[in-house]
Structure 1
Amino acid sequence: MDLSSLFSLMNKVALITGASKGIGYSIAEIFAAAGAKVVISSRKQEALDEMAGKLRQRGYDVTGIACNVGNMNELDDLVKKTVELYGQIDVLVNNAATNPVFGPVHETSIEAYDKIMDVNVKAPFHLMKLCFPYLRASSNASVINISSIGGISPEQGLGIYSVSKAALISMTKVFAKEWGDHKIRVNAICPGLIKTKFSEALWSNDKIMNHLMKNLPIKRVGTSEEIGAAALFLASTASSYTTGEVLKADGGFTI
């Protein structure tokens, strides 16, 4: 058996949101190393150009296209520009997320609620619909939604963020059921505590870390590369019989 072809993304085009750093960038790097042509997206073109340039220096085919996923019109442009550039979309990774608040849920403003739901739920929903015609034409279409263990069990101080990630898990299963006939697989990854800028409020808090380590079978913070490796499995033919799955990568925290 040729395992290299099993995990190959050669001749595939992947679109990844929230990909100028952290988990999104690691997914892009691993996908590119597996042979994919990759579009990375985030809000700032300058940051995207820098990160895409680093990957191109290694011989990878990577392009940055700026997009604020909270703006539905910009999502339209993101898909159009991707197709104009590469002619297809085979893999979509909804990684972009926001959480502007940390604290009691009853102190969350309606403005913060709307922003969290727009970016974490509405944007993936709309982007999946926009990509549907191109995913349907692919020989191995895969959508990967980056949720969170907070979507399985609410995390303290992250109330509405947890609600949004639970909604994303449910939406993943809905799309997986409906898109099976179109040969499009839809799965979710639920990272635990990963050392990124996004989660710094957690891993930089000694009280939270001490509590976490008491309950973690694998007693360390995870890396973005470990989430990237899980995403490669779900993007490749190695997972060709997997859809509607919620893959936890949390060091055993939710056991």
Structure 2
Amino acid sequence: MGRLLNKTALVTGASRGIGRGIALRLAGDGAAVAVNYSTSEGAAKETVALIEEAGGRAFAVQARLGSPGSVEQLLTGVEAGLVELTGSAKLDILVNNAAATGFAGAGPGEVTEQIIDNCYAINAKAPFFLIQQALELIPDGGRVINISSGVTHSAFPQQIAYAMSKGALEQITLHLAPVLAARGITINTVAPGVTDNGDPVFADPEALEQMSALSVFNRVGQVSEVADIVAFVASGDARWMTGSFIDATGGTLLG
């Protein structure tokens, strides 16, 4: 649709799943996209290739968020890539999507300090410092979008560490909103529910039926449906929205 023409974006954790879907959608709307990945270089290059095949512009940049120096490494790579691709280091849209998610089954009795530390390092600490340091690149009127989860507003004991860290991410959105507003920069949280991100569990009919029952639409979400919501928040149409929690769970949180 071209509503992000001449805009640039960074999507963390964009090599696959929801992050890839967001990168593809923003690029489809005209943005030049920095595709961040942690270890999956091949998958990140595939995301870039998909964008380029559709006529968009993108480049991959590696940084394992949550590790020491990773934010600085990422922004150095993003700045260099943007200059090469667009002639400017301007970053209009920052999407904090990368997350530590591999702790399903670690209920309150099984959570360790290492699990807590890892969740907070990737899901809260890295986004905070990425926003803080990226503000030198983000122009007035820019967009920051934090990807959270419906588990912060509903009880899923087996996801307690993940939910705690995502709750912290939502507090970043809330408390930075009035600060960033002075420059016309909006910051919002988008919270997906159960979304088919390509994980093998979605090929299991019994598991799929159970997950589908969580939504009032009696199905799981699609990556494109989350990406469409993020694209709206990233656009000029969402200029009067900031500090918000946007429920993208397909009605999972209705009670």
SS at match of 1:228: helix
Does residue 85 (structure 1) correspond to residue 81 (structure 2)? The answer is yes
Tell me the equivalent position of 2:100: 98
CA distance in 2, matches of 1:156, 1:206: 21
1:105-124 aligned within 5 A: 105-124=108-127
Query: Is 2:73 the counterpart of 1:71?
Result: no
Q: What residue is the counterpart of 2:165 in the other structure?
A: 164
Q: State the distance in 1 between where 2:109 and 2:173 align.
A: 28
Q: Aligned AA for 2:34?
A: V
Find the aligned partners of 1:214 and 1:179 in 2 and give their Cα distance. 39
With 145-154 and 45-54 compared, the bigger mean Cα shift is at 45-54
Alignment gaps of 5+ in structure 1: none
The amino acid that maps onto 1:128 is I
Aligned-partner SS, 1:133: coil
Counterpart residue number, 1:60 = 56
Deviation at 1:74, TM superposition (A): 2.2
Match of 1:20 in 2: 15
Q: CA deviation at 1:197?
A: 4.1
CA RMSD, 1 decimal: 1.9
Residue by residue over 1:79-112, the C-alpha shift from the partner in whole angstroms, topping out at 9 and shown as x without a partner, is 1222223211110000000123222222111111
Q: Which residue of 1 aligns with 2:239?
A: 240
Partner residue in 2 for 1:206: 206
8 Å CA contact 1:195–1:203 kept in 2: the answer is no
TM-score computed with the length of structure 1 as normaliser: 0.90
1:183-210: CA deviations, max 9, x gaps? 1100000101001146x55884836843
Matched residue count: 246
What's the counterpart of residue 41 of structure 1? 36
Q: Report how far residue 171 of structure 1 moved.
A: 1.2
Q: Secondary structure at the match of 2:237?
A: helix
TM-superposed CA distance for 1:245, in Å, is: 0.9
Q: TM-score, normalised by structure 2?
A: 0.90
User: Do the aligned residues in 1 keep the contact of 2:38 with 2:62 (CA within 8 Å)?
Assistant: yes
Percent identity, aligned pairs only, is: 28
Distance in 1 of aligned mates of 2:183 and 2:124: 22
